[in-house]
Structure 1
Amino acid sequence: MSQIHLEKKGLRGLVIAESFKPRDKRSRLAGIVMRRDFVIDGFVFGHCTIGGDDATNSILKMYSKLGRDDINFVLVSGLIIAMYNVIDVVTIHKQTGLPVIGVTYEDSQGIESAIKHHFPDSYESKIEKYRKLGRRSKVRLHTGYDIYLRTEGCTTKEAQKLLDHFTLQGTVPEPLRVAQLLAKSL
Protein backbone atom coordinates (compact mmCIF):
# COMPACT_ATOMS: atom_id res chain seq x y z
CA MET A 1 0.00 0.00 0.00
CA SER A 2 1.24 3.49 -0.83
CA GLN A 3 1.50 6.11 1.82
CA ILE A 4 0.78 9.77 2.07
CA HIS A 5 4.02 11.18 3.43
CA LEU A 6 2.50 13.74 5.76
CA GLU A 7 5.93 14.79 7.02
CA LYS A 8 7.00 16.04 3.57
CA LYS A 9 7.29 19.82 3.43
CA GLY A 10 6.68 19.81 -0.33
CA LEU A 11 3.58 17.60 -0.12
CA ARG A 12 1.31 18.32 -3.12
CA GLY A 13 -2.01 16.98 -4.25
CA LEU A 14 -4.01 17.03 -7.45
CA VAL A 15 -7.47 18.04 -6.30
CA ILE A 16 -10.47 17.71 -8.63
CA ALA A 17 -14.04 19.01 -8.52
CA GLU A 18 -16.80 19.25 -11.12
CA SER A 19 -19.62 21.50 -12.20
CA PHE A 20 -22.47 21.22 -14.68
CA LYS A 21 -25.87 22.74 -15.37
CA PRO A 22 -29.12 20.78 -15.80
CA ARG A 23 -29.12 20.79 -19.62
CA ASP A 24 -25.39 20.16 -20.08
CA LYS A 25 -24.14 17.06 -21.87
CA ARG A 26 -20.71 17.31 -20.22
CA SER A 27 -19.50 18.19 -16.76
CA ARG A 28 -16.53 20.50 -16.43
CA LEU A 29 -13.70 19.22 -14.28
CA ALA A 30 -11.25 21.58 -12.62
CA GLY A 31 -8.05 20.37 -11.04
CA ILE A 32 -5.64 22.31 -8.91
CA VAL A 33 -2.27 21.34 -7.56
CA MET A 34 -2.01 22.63 -4.01
CA ARG A 35 0.99 22.37 -1.75
CA ARG A 36 0.91 21.60 1.95
CA ASP A 37 1.42 25.33 2.66
CA PHE A 38 -1.75 26.15 0.66
CA VAL A 39 0.16 27.55 -2.31
CA ILE A 40 -1.49 26.68 -5.63
CA ASP A 41 1.13 25.80 -8.21
CA GLY A 42 -0.87 24.29 -11.03
CA PHE A 43 -4.22 24.06 -12.81
CA VAL A 44 -5.65 21.53 -15.22
CA PHE A 45 -9.06 21.18 -16.84
CA GLY A 46 -11.07 18.32 -18.26
CA HIS A 47 -14.60 17.12 -18.81
CA CYS A 48 -16.68 13.98 -18.61
CA THR A 49 -20.03 12.93 -20.01
CA ILE A 50 -23.19 13.45 -17.99
CA GLY A 51 -24.46 9.95 -17.23
CA GLY A 52 -21.43 8.44 -18.95
CA ASP A 53 -18.60 6.15 -17.96
CA ASP A 54 -15.59 8.31 -18.79
CA ALA A 55 -14.83 10.12 -15.51
CA THR A 56 -11.91 7.83 -14.62
CA ASN A 57 -10.23 8.30 -17.99
CA SER A 58 -10.84 12.05 -17.83
CA ILE A 59 -9.06 12.28 -14.47
CA LEU A 60 -6.17 10.18 -15.76
CA LYS A 61 -5.85 12.51 -18.78
CA MET A 62 -5.84 15.52 -16.46
CA TYR A 63 -3.06 13.98 -14.39
CA SER A 64 -1.09 13.16 -17.53
CA LYS A 65 -1.56 16.69 -18.95
CA LEU A 66 0.19 18.10 -15.91
CA GLY A 67 3.32 16.09 -16.69
CA ARG A 68 4.52 16.33 -13.09
CA ASP A 69 6.27 13.87 -10.84
CA ASP A 70 5.91 15.89 -7.64
CA ILE A 71 2.22 15.10 -6.96
CA ASN A 72 1.77 12.94 -3.87
CA PHE A 73 -1.97 12.20 -3.83
CA VAL A 74 -5.23 12.65 -5.74
CA LEU A 75 -8.23 14.12 -3.92
CA VAL A 76 -11.66 14.14 -5.57
CA SER A 77 -14.91 15.79 -4.55
CA GLY A 78 -17.15 12.74 -4.78
CA LEU A 79 -16.52 9.50 -6.65
CA ILE A 80 -19.89 9.43 -8.39
CA ILE A 81 -20.01 12.59 -10.46
CA ALA A 82 -21.85 13.92 -13.51
CA MET A 83 -25.09 12.03 -12.86
CA TYR A 84 -23.72 8.57 -12.04
CA ASN A 85 -20.37 8.66 -13.84
CA VAL A 86 -18.48 6.44 -11.37
CA ILE A 87 -14.78 7.09 -10.75
CA ASP A 88 -12.66 3.93 -10.46
CA VAL A 89 -10.19 4.74 -7.67
CA VAL A 90 -8.35 1.42 -8.06
CA THR A 91 -7.54 2.19 -11.70
CA ILE A 92 -6.40 5.73 -10.88
CA HIS A 93 -4.23 4.42 -8.05
CA LYS A 94 -2.68 1.69 -10.21
CA GLN A 95 -1.98 3.96 -13.17
CA THR A 96 -0.59 6.90 -11.18
CA GLY A 97 0.91 5.06 -8.22
CA LEU A 98 -0.69 7.70 -5.98
CA PRO A 99 -3.10 7.38 -3.07
CA VAL A 100 -6.64 8.42 -4.09
CA ILE A 101 -9.19 9.93 -1.70
CA GLY A 102 -12.84 10.59 -2.52
CA VAL A 103 -14.71 12.96 -0.19
CA THR A 104 -18.46 13.35 0.34
CA TYR A 105 -20.33 15.30 2.97
CA GLU A 106 -23.62 13.53 3.66
CA ASP A 107 -24.65 10.10 4.85
CA SER A 108 -26.80 8.06 2.47
CA GLN A 109 -28.18 4.59 2.09
CA GLY A 110 -26.67 4.18 -1.37
CA ILE A 111 -27.71 5.01 -4.91
CA GLU A 112 -28.52 1.66 -6.50
CA SER A 113 -32.24 2.41 -6.87
CA ALA A 114 -31.47 5.81 -8.43
CA ILE A 115 -29.11 4.17 -10.92
CA LYS A 116 -31.80 1.63 -11.87
CA HIS A 117 -34.31 4.45 -12.32
CA HIS A 118 -32.06 6.59 -14.55
CA PHE A 119 -30.54 3.71 -16.54
CA PRO A 120 -33.32 1.09 -16.83
CA ASP A 121 -31.67 -0.67 -19.79
CA SER A 122 -28.03 -0.45 -18.76
CA TYR A 123 -27.80 -0.17 -14.98
CA GLU A 124 -25.88 -3.42 -14.33
CA SER A 125 -22.42 -2.11 -15.23
CA LYS A 126 -22.91 1.15 -13.31
CA ILE A 127 -24.08 -0.72 -10.21
CA GLU A 128 -21.09 -3.06 -10.50
CA LYS A 129 -18.71 -0.06 -10.65
CA TYR A 130 -20.53 1.56 -7.73
CA ARG A 131 -20.27 -1.61 -5.60
CA LYS A 132 -16.54 -1.89 -6.38
CA LEU A 133 -16.03 1.45 -4.61
CA GLY A 134 -16.84 -0.23 -1.30
CA ARG A 135 -18.20 1.40 1.80
CA ARG A 136 -17.42 4.92 2.85
CA SER A 137 -15.74 5.64 6.15
CA LYS A 138 -17.10 8.39 8.37
CA VAL A 139 -14.38 10.54 9.90
CA ARG A 140 -14.49 13.56 12.15
CA LEU A 141 -12.26 16.45 11.16
CA HIS A 142 -10.41 18.55 13.72
CA THR A 143 -13.05 21.23 13.04
CA GLY A 144 -15.68 18.96 14.64
CA TYR A 145 -17.47 18.16 11.37
CA ASP A 146 -17.97 14.72 9.88
CA ILE A 147 -17.14 13.79 6.29
CA TYR A 148 -17.18 10.49 4.40
CA LEU A 149 -14.16 9.00 2.66
CA ARG A 150 -13.31 6.28 0.21
CA THR A 151 -9.60 5.64 -0.18
CA GLU A 152 -7.27 3.58 -2.31
CA GLY A 153 -3.56 3.38 -1.68
CA CYS A 154 -3.66 4.86 1.83
CA THR A 155 -5.44 4.23 5.08
CA THR A 156 -8.51 6.13 6.21
CA LYS A 157 -6.47 7.42 9.15
CA GLU A 158 -3.78 8.84 6.83
CA ALA A 159 -6.47 10.48 4.70
CA GLN A 160 -8.09 11.97 7.80
CA LYS A 161 -4.77 13.44 8.98
CA LEU A 162 -4.15 14.90 5.52
CA LEU A 163 -7.61 16.44 5.34
CA ASP A 164 -7.28 17.81 8.88
CA HIS A 165 -4.19 19.66 7.72
CA PHE A 166 -5.95 21.05 4.64
CA THR A 167 -9.22 22.02 6.40
CA LEU A 168 -9.17 25.52 7.84
CA GLN A 169 -12.82 25.63 8.94
CA GLY A 170 -16.07 23.74 8.48
CA THR A 171 -16.27 20.56 6.42
CA VAL A 172 -14.67 21.36 3.07
CA PRO A 173 -10.89 21.01 2.82
CA GLU A 174 -9.36 24.16 1.30
CA PRO A 175 -8.07 22.57 -1.91
CA LEU A 176 -11.52 21.08 -2.63
CA ARG A 177 -13.15 24.44 -1.93
CA VAL A 178 -10.84 26.16 -4.42
CA ALA A 179 -11.29 23.44 -7.06
CA GLN A 180 -15.09 23.67 -6.66
CA LEU A 181 -14.99 27.47 -7.10
CA LEU A 182 -12.84 27.07 -10.19
CA ALA A 183 -15.12 24.40 -11.69
CA LYS A 184 -18.20 26.57 -11.14
CA SER A 185 -16.49 29.53 -12.79
CA LEU A 186 -16.02 27.52 -15.99
Structure 2
Amino acid sequence: MSIRGYRDARVVGVDDGRFKKRKGGGEKTLLVAALFRGRTLEDVRISEVTVDGLDSTDSIRDVLRGLDFDFLLLSGATFAGFNVVDAHKLYELLGKPVIIVIGEKPRDHAVKEALKKHFGDWERRWGLMESLKPMFTVETDPGHNPIYYEVVGLDPGEASELLKACTFQGRLPEPLRIAGMIAKGLTSPKGSQPTQIH
Protein backbone atom coordinates (compact mmCIF):
# COMPACT_ATOMS: atom_id res chain seq x y z
CA MET A 1 0.00 0.00 0.00
CA SER A 2 1.27 3.50 -0.82
CA ILE A 3 1.64 6.34 1.68
CA ARG A 4 -1.48 7.86 0.12
CA GLY A 5 -3.35 4.62 0.75
CA TYR A 6 -2.23 4.54 4.37
CA ARG A 7 -3.42 8.12 4.83
CA ASP A 8 -6.96 6.96 4.06
CA ALA A 9 -6.78 3.88 6.29
CA ARG A 10 -8.97 3.53 9.37
CA VAL A 11 -6.50 3.40 12.25
CA VAL A 12 -7.44 3.03 15.91
CA GLY A 13 -5.08 3.96 18.74
CA VAL A 14 -5.42 2.70 22.32
CA ASP A 15 -3.89 4.27 25.43
CA ASP A 16 -4.55 4.22 29.16
CA GLY A 17 -5.14 6.86 31.81
CA ARG A 18 -3.30 7.82 34.97
CA PHE A 19 -3.78 5.79 38.13
CA LYS A 20 -2.83 5.48 41.78
CA LYS A 21 -1.89 2.16 43.32
CA ARG A 22 -3.54 1.30 46.61
CA LYS A 23 -2.91 -1.52 49.02
CA GLY A 24 -5.07 -4.51 48.25
CA GLY A 25 -5.08 -3.93 44.50
CA GLY A 26 -8.04 -4.11 42.17
CA GLU A 27 -7.84 -0.48 41.06
CA LYS A 28 -8.81 0.38 37.52
CA THR A 29 -8.03 3.17 35.10
CA LEU A 30 -9.50 4.28 31.81
CA LEU A 31 -8.74 2.67 28.48
CA VAL A 32 -9.40 4.94 25.50
CA ALA A 33 -9.64 3.98 21.82
CA ALA A 34 -9.56 6.76 19.21
CA LEU A 35 -10.48 5.84 15.62
CA PHE A 36 -9.16 7.98 12.77
CA ARG A 37 -9.75 7.88 9.05
CA GLY A 38 -7.00 10.01 7.61
CA ARG A 39 -6.98 13.21 9.65
CA THR A 40 -10.58 12.81 10.82
CA LEU A 41 -11.47 11.54 14.29
CA GLU A 42 -14.45 9.25 13.66
CA ASP A 43 -15.08 7.57 17.02
CA VAL A 44 -13.92 7.42 20.63
CA ARG A 45 -14.56 4.49 22.95
CA ILE A 46 -13.86 4.40 26.68
CA SER A 47 -13.56 1.38 28.95
CA GLU A 48 -11.55 0.28 31.98
CA VAL A 49 -8.49 -1.85 32.61
CA THR A 50 -7.16 -3.24 35.90
CA VAL A 51 -3.97 -1.79 37.35
CA ASP A 52 -1.24 -4.47 37.22
CA GLY A 53 -3.87 -7.02 36.20
CA LEU A 54 -4.00 -9.48 33.32
CA ASP A 55 -7.10 -8.22 31.52
CA SER A 56 -5.62 -5.74 29.02
CA THR A 57 -6.02 -8.09 26.04
CA ASP A 58 -9.70 -8.74 26.79
CA SER A 59 -10.33 -5.07 27.67
CA ILE A 60 -8.88 -3.92 24.34
CA ARG A 61 -10.89 -6.51 22.42
CA ASP A 62 -14.07 -5.42 24.20
CA VAL A 63 -13.58 -1.67 23.69
CA LEU A 64 -13.02 -2.27 19.96
CA ARG A 65 -16.10 -4.45 19.54
CA GLY A 66 -18.16 -3.26 16.57
CA LEU A 67 -15.55 -0.77 15.31
CA ASP A 68 -14.62 -0.90 11.63
CA PHE A 69 -10.86 -0.40 11.38
CA ASP A 70 -7.84 -1.55 9.37
CA PHE A 71 -4.94 -1.25 11.82
CA LEU A 72 -4.56 -1.22 15.61
CA LEU A 73 -1.91 0.90 17.35
CA LEU A 74 -1.15 0.26 21.02
CA SER A 75 0.68 2.68 23.29
CA GLY A 76 3.26 0.18 24.49
CA ALA A 77 2.94 -3.47 25.45
CA THR A 78 1.73 -2.71 28.98
CA PHE A 79 -1.32 -0.86 30.24
CA ALA A 80 -2.20 0.34 33.74
CA GLY A 81 1.22 -0.47 35.11
CA PHE A 82 2.30 -3.98 34.19
CA ASN A 83 -0.93 -5.28 32.65
CA VAL A 84 0.83 -6.87 29.67
CA VAL A 85 -1.10 -7.25 26.43
CA ASP A 86 -0.98 -10.41 24.33
CA ALA A 87 -0.63 -8.79 20.90
CA HIS A 88 -0.52 -12.14 19.10
CA LYS A 89 -3.87 -13.12 20.65
CA LEU A 90 -5.33 -9.72 19.73
CA TYR A 91 -4.25 -10.26 16.13
CA GLU A 92 -5.94 -13.68 16.12
CA LEU A 93 -9.12 -12.33 17.71
CA LEU A 94 -9.45 -9.20 15.58
CA GLY A 95 -7.85 -10.29 12.32
CA LYS A 96 -6.15 -6.88 12.07
CA PRO A 97 -2.45 -5.97 12.24
CA VAL A 98 -1.27 -4.81 15.67
CA ILE A 99 1.55 -2.27 16.05
CA ILE A 100 2.99 -1.58 19.49
CA VAL A 101 4.44 1.94 19.61
CA ILE A 102 6.89 3.21 22.22
CA GLY A 103 8.06 6.81 22.34
CA GLU A 104 11.38 6.19 24.08
CA LYS A 105 13.93 3.39 23.88
CA PRO A 106 12.73 0.60 26.20
CA ARG A 107 14.82 -0.29 29.24
CA ASP A 108 14.31 -4.04 29.06
CA HIS A 109 16.60 -4.95 31.95
CA ALA A 110 14.87 -2.53 34.34
CA VAL A 111 11.45 -3.78 33.26
CA LYS A 112 12.43 -7.41 33.77
CA GLU A 113 13.83 -6.69 37.23
CA ALA A 114 10.67 -4.83 38.24
CA LEU A 115 8.53 -7.74 37.08
CA LYS A 116 10.68 -10.20 39.04
CA LYS A 117 10.42 -8.08 42.16
CA HIS A 118 6.68 -7.48 42.15
CA PHE A 119 4.97 -10.38 40.35
CA GLY A 120 4.91 -14.09 41.08
CA ASP A 121 3.87 -14.64 37.46
CA TRP A 122 6.63 -12.42 36.08
CA GLU A 123 7.79 -15.08 33.62
CA ARG A 124 4.38 -15.09 31.89
CA ARG A 125 4.31 -11.30 31.63
CA TRP A 126 7.91 -11.11 30.46
CA GLY A 127 7.28 -13.88 27.93
CA LEU A 128 4.45 -11.87 26.36
CA MET A 129 6.75 -8.88 26.01
CA GLU A 130 9.62 -10.94 24.60
CA SER A 131 7.31 -12.55 22.03
CA LEU A 132 7.04 -9.18 20.29
CA LYS A 133 10.72 -8.95 19.34
CA PRO A 134 12.40 -7.70 17.25
CA MET A 135 11.95 -3.98 17.77
CA PHE A 136 12.20 -1.46 14.95
CA THR A 137 12.60 2.31 14.72
CA VAL A 138 11.08 4.93 12.44
CA GLU A 139 11.61 8.68 12.22
CA THR A 140 8.08 10.08 12.10
CA ASP A 141 9.10 13.68 12.78
CA PRO A 142 12.20 14.51 10.69
CA GLY A 143 15.07 15.87 12.75
CA HIS A 144 13.74 14.46 16.03
CA ASN A 145 14.27 11.19 17.87
CA PRO A 146 12.69 8.12 16.28
CA ILE A 147 9.87 6.14 17.82
CA TYR A 148 10.18 2.42 18.48
CA TYR A 149 7.70 -0.21 17.38
CA GLU A 150 6.97 -3.93 17.32
CA VAL A 151 4.49 -5.44 14.92
CA VAL A 152 2.23 -8.48 14.58
CA GLY A 153 0.50 -9.34 11.31
CA LEU A 154 2.18 -6.79 9.05
CA ASP A 155 5.52 -6.39 7.30
CA PRO A 156 7.75 -4.07 9.42
CA GLY A 157 8.43 -1.84 6.41
CA GLU A 158 4.72 -1.41 5.77
CA ALA A 159 4.19 -0.68 9.47
CA SER A 160 6.85 2.03 9.23
CA GLU A 161 5.05 3.66 6.28
CA LEU A 162 1.73 3.53 8.13
CA LEU A 163 3.20 5.17 11.24
CA LYS A 164 4.68 7.99 9.16
CA ALA A 165 1.44 8.44 7.23
CA CYS A 166 -0.72 8.90 10.33
CA THR A 167 1.65 11.22 12.23
CA PHE A 168 0.61 14.85 11.81
CA GLN A 169 1.91 16.67 14.88
CA GLY A 170 4.98 15.70 16.90
CA ARG A 171 6.39 12.16 16.88
CA LEU A 172 3.38 10.01 17.81
CA PRO A 173 0.78 8.79 15.32
CA GLU A 174 -2.38 10.86 15.70
CA PRO A 175 -4.66 8.01 16.88
CA LEU A 176 -2.28 7.35 19.79
CA ARG A 177 -1.65 11.01 20.53
CA ILE A 178 -5.35 11.77 20.82
CA ALA A 179 -6.21 8.56 22.71
CA GLY A 180 -3.45 9.41 25.19
CA MET A 181 -4.59 13.01 25.54
CA ILE A 182 -8.17 11.96 26.28
CA ALA A 183 -7.17 9.17 28.68
CA LYS A 184 -4.69 11.32 30.62
CA GLY A 185 -7.01 14.33 30.61
CA LEU A 186 -9.94 12.39 32.04
CA THR A 187 -7.84 10.83 34.80
CA SER A 188 -5.73 13.84 35.82
CA PRO A 189 -6.41 15.40 39.24
CA LYS A 190 -8.42 18.63 39.18
CA GLY A 191 -6.20 21.67 39.05
CA SER A 192 -3.28 19.83 37.46
CA GLN A 193 -1.37 21.15 34.47
CA PRO A 194 -2.92 20.60 31.03
CA THR A 195 -2.05 17.29 29.41
CA GLN A 196 0.57 17.49 26.66
CA ILE A 197 1.24 14.45 24.52
CA HIS A 198 4.08 14.64 21.97
TM-score range, shorter chain: 0.7 to 0.9
- Aligned amino acid, residue 30 of structure 1: V
- CA distance in structure 1 between the partners assigned to 2:35 and 2:160 by the alignment: 19
With over 3 angstroms needed to count, the CA separation of the structure-2 counterparts of 1:8 and 1:180, relative to structure 1, is closer
With over 3 angstroms needed to count, the CA separation of the structure-2 counterparts of 1:26 and 1:6, relative to structure 1, is farther
Correspondence for 1:27: 29
With over 3 angstroms needed to count, the CA separation of the structure-2 counterparts of 1:20 and 1:109, relative to structure 1, is closer
Q: Report the alpha carbon displacement of residue 160 of structure 1 after superposing the two structures with TM.
A: 1.3
- Aligned amino acid, residue 61 of structure 2: L
What is the root-mean-square deviation in Å for CA atoms of aligned residues?
2.1
- Aligned amino acid, residue 87 of structure 2: V
Correspondence for 2:195: none
Q: Does the 8 Å contact 1:6/1:162 carry over to 2?
A: no
How many pairs does the alignment contain? 179
- Specify the SS of the correspondent of 2:64: helix
Q: Does the 8 Å contact 1:30/1:44 carry over to 2?
A: yes
Correspondence for 2:134: 135
Q: Does the 8 Å contact 2:19/2:80 carry over to 1?
A: no
Q: Does the 8 Å contact 1:29/1:45 carry over to 2?
A: yes
Q: Report the alpha carbon displacement of residue 130 of structure 1 after superposing the two structures with TM.
A: 2.0
Q: Report the alpha carbon displacement of residue 86 of structure 1 after superposing the two structures with TM.
A: 0.9
- Aligned amino acid, residue 30 of structure 2: R
Q: Does the 8 Å contact 2:100/2:149 carry over to 1?
A: yes
- Specify every segment of 5 or more residues in structure 1 that has no aligned partner in the other structure, as ranges: none
- Specify every segment of 5 or more residues in structure 2 that has no aligned partner in the other structure, as ranges: 187-198
- Specify the SS of the correspondent of 2:5: coil
Q: Does the 8 Å contact 2:56/2:85 carry over to 1?
A: yes
- What are the Cα deviations for residues 34-78 of structure 1, in whole angstroms up to 9, with x where unaligned? 011x111111111111111110010000111xx13x310111111
Q: Does the 8 Å contact 1:26/1:47 carry over to 2?
A: yes
Task: Please give the TM-score of this superposition, normalised by the length of structure 1.
Answer: 0.87
Task: Please give the TM-score of this superposition, normalised by the length of structure 2.
Answer: 0.82
With over 3 angstroms needed to count, the CA separation of the structure-2 counterparts of 1:4 and 1:132, relative to structure 1, is farther
With over 3 angstroms needed to count, the CA separation of the structure-2 counterparts of 1:6 and 1:116, relative to structure 1, is farther
